[in-house]
Structure 1
């Protein structure tokens, strides 16, 4: 009897010390020479100089092989950049949640959720949160690839005011946040939306690289030869010539913010 009680107590102690299910071997993150899948839970927070009350999550950078950087900023009350910056890079900001104040040169713009802005190289900027509600902002930055055209001007906008353009297949739309076909721009940032069950008309393989942030819904992404289920807040990096294909699953529309480099000749 005493022996049985001891065994029972010992087993209970072992059970209490065990980790819950899913602590090992269940990870949606992936990093390959062609692509990366970054679920939000695994992207650790960090800080940057000259930022106050701001959590910084680097989604991709040249350290991954990308020619741009994409960062998620979580800006608390009275947080953001403590001084004006001018780093001679071009920048794109998209507000995922909350409200951000963006100074571009001498003008301050208030960007609500789904608002965005482009800041050309050589123009001073400062991003802040002047409200008591946290703001989440996607920040894309890269060196501008100059050609014999004037550098683009700064611009701001809101997703609700951007036309939805249908291409290739029914139930799939583009919203061009930067002017499509304007050769002065060396990048595009678009929102692609998908009705449930909608998919690419083909497996794409192209020279452009992508930074993709899931805004809504869920879907299956073919990257290289591997399938990955992606949903809201996931980030995906796709390198040049990575085979890629997406179809929307779930009951609601899926949409993602998509960066790509465009309008420039190949480099040798």
Structure 2
């Protein structure tokens, strides 16, 4: 099962996994089977590396468990690299560009390229969704540090559907070459159509369960699963069960394609 579920040692049944890896296409990575990675700068933390260029992504996603006194005083990100952190649960202090941010569950910080992110856990255990990507500059435009909480964001009907809602975590400005969104489906809701696009996503399921279409394969998903969706991978989902299906995901945007 793995360290996330605190279930290690000898197996009690046949080895099996719901994980699906289709490099440069899509991947489903459930919490069962996640392993720990050692990342310089993180102290008293368990980290799992999720999407990477080896999988086909242009970004790197991480799942971080911060224990008491967990921290990163070395700084995460820096020259040419933009970073983002979202608090899945717990309470941390983030520092960026000499600004301090107190983040609780649902809080987040974005740091543009060149500005490092520093983290300090303030409780027994915090869980974070962490992201980094090489920034694509655009003449006469630049990004800036952004921090907020999802409860302060507008929840907008997604493409005129009153049972699907989207929240934009970052400004829709040309200085930003990516964005984070939270998409929430009430039970029984779905996408309005099957999406086909060149943008790629890294998505972490915050709640609920459903069926996700990935390259014409319907796959059951649920809370704490992670999904990588590569460029042009067909995608859509249905929410099932008793609670809304909600996930946070990244999307590259605001740039033309280089050839």
**TM-score of the aligned structures, taking structure 1 as reference length:** 0.89
Instruction: Name the structure 1 match of 2:137.
Output: 146
Matched, 1:95 2:87: yes
Instruction: Name the structure 2 match of 1:253.
Output: 244
SS at match of 2:54: helix
Instruction: Name the structure 2 match of 1:67.
Output: 58
Deviation at 1:124, TM superposition (A): 2.9
Deviation at 1:148, TM superposition (A): 1.2
Deviation at 1:224, TM superposition (A): 0.6
Matched, 1:27 2:38: no
Note the alpha carbon deviations across 1:202-243, whole angstroms, 9 max, x for none.
111101000000001011001012111111110000000000
Output the aligned Cα RMSD. 1.5
Deviation at 1:267, TM superposition (A): 1.9
Larger Rg: 1
Tell me: CA distance 1:151–1:44, structure 2 relative to 1, closer, same or farther (3 Å).
same
Q: Which moved more, 1:188-197 or 1:143-152?
A: 143-152
Matched, 1:178 2:170: yes
Q: Distance in 1 between matches of 2:11 and 2:83?
A: 43
Deviation at 1:82, TM superposition (A): 3.2
Larger strand percent: 2
Q: Distance in 1 between matches of 2:11 and 2:85?
A: 40
User: Which residue of the other structure, out of 46, 59, 63, is the alignment partner of 1:55?
Assistant: 46
Unaligned runs of 5+ in 1: 1-17
Q: Distance in 1 between matches of 2:60 and 2:192?
A: 29
Deviation at 1:19, TM superposition (A): 6.2
Larger helix percent: 1
Q: Distance in 2 between matches of 1:191 and 1:86?
A: 23
What number of residue pairs does the alignment pair up? 247
**TM-score of the aligned structures, taking structure 2 as reference length:** 0.91
